[in-house]
Amino acid sequence: MISRVADHCFWMGRYLERVESTSRVLRVTSSLVLDAILPPEQVWTSALAVSGEEESFVERNGVAAVGDGFRVTEFLTWDPAVRSSLARSVQAARENARSIREVVSLEAWEAINELHVWLHDGSGRTEWAVRPDAFYRQVRTWTQLILGAVEHTMLHDNAIDFIMLGVFLERVGQTARILDVHHHALMQLPADLVREETLWLSLLRACAGFEPFMKRKAGRVTPGEVATFLMLEPRFPRSLVFCLGEADQRLASIRSPGDEAFPPLRCQARLAALESFLASRRVPDEDLHALLTRVVDEIAAICSELHEELFQAPQRAWSPVRGEQLRAEA
Partner 1 sequence: MLAEYHPLPGAFDELLGANERLRATVEAMLDGRSSEEFARTQALAEAALLNQGVTFSVYSDSRGVEKIFPVCLLPRIISAAEWSRLERGLQQRVLALEAFVEDVYADQRILEAGDIPRAVVLGSAQYLPALRGIRPPAGVRIHISGIDLIRDGAGVFRVLEDNLRTPSGVSYVLENRLLSKRLLARAFEAARVRPVNQYPARLAAALRSVSPVSPEETTLVVLTPGPYNSAYFEHSFLARQMGVELVEAADLFVDDDRLFVQTIRGPKRVHVVYRRTDDAFLDPEVFRPDSILGVRGLLRAWARGNVALANAPGNGVADDKGVYPFVPEMIRFYLGEEPLLEQVPTYQCARPEERAYVLEHLSELVVKVVDEAGGYGMLMGPTSTAEERAEFRRRILADPRRYVAQPRIELSTCPTWVSQGQCIAPRRVDFRPYVLNSAGGPWVLPGGLTRVALREGSYVVNSSQGGGSKDTWVLKGEG
DSSP annotation of 281: -
Closest separation between CB of residue 79 and partner 1, Å? 18
Judged by CB under 8 A, the residue of 21, 51, 143, 158 near partner 1 is 158
In the complex with partner 1, which residue's Cβ is closer, 59 or 114?
114
Q: What is the widest separation between alpha-carbon atoms in the chain? A: 74
Residue 46 has, within 13 A of its CA and on its CB side, a CA count of: 27
In 3D space, the residue among 87, 94, 209 whose CA is nearest the CA of residue 136 turns out to be: 87
Instruction: Please tell me whether residue 279 binds partner 1 under the rule CB under 8 A.
Output: no
Q: C-alpha angle 150/155/161, rounded to 5°?
A: 70
Reference 221, options 193, 189, 199, 192; nearest CA is 199
Binding region for partner 1 (CB under 8 A) out of 27-35, 103-111, 234-242, 289-297: 103-111
Does 153 bind partner 1 (CB under 8 A)? Our answer is no
**Minimum distance between the CB of residue 106 and partner 1, rounded to whole angstroms?**
8
- Name which of 4 and 184 has its Cβ closer to partner 1: 4
For partner 1, which residue of 11, 75, 109, 229 counts as binding (CB under 8 A)? 109
Tell me if 318 contacts partner 1 by CB under 8 A: yes
**What sign for the dihedral angle of Cα 141, 143, 144, 146?**
positive
Q: Which amino acid is present at 183?
A: H
Q: How far is CA 257 from the centre of its chain?
A: 27
Q: How far apart are CA 295 and CA 288, in angstroms?
A: 11
Asked if 261 interacts with partner 1 (CB under 8 A), we say yes
Please identify, among the stretches 35-43, 48-56, 102-110, 226-234, the one whose residues bind partner 1 according to the rule CB under 8 A: 102-110
Residues that bind partner 1 (CB under 8 A): 1-6, 95, 98-102, 106, 109-110, 113-114, 117, 158, 254, 261-262, 310-315, 317-319, 322-323, 326-327, 329-330
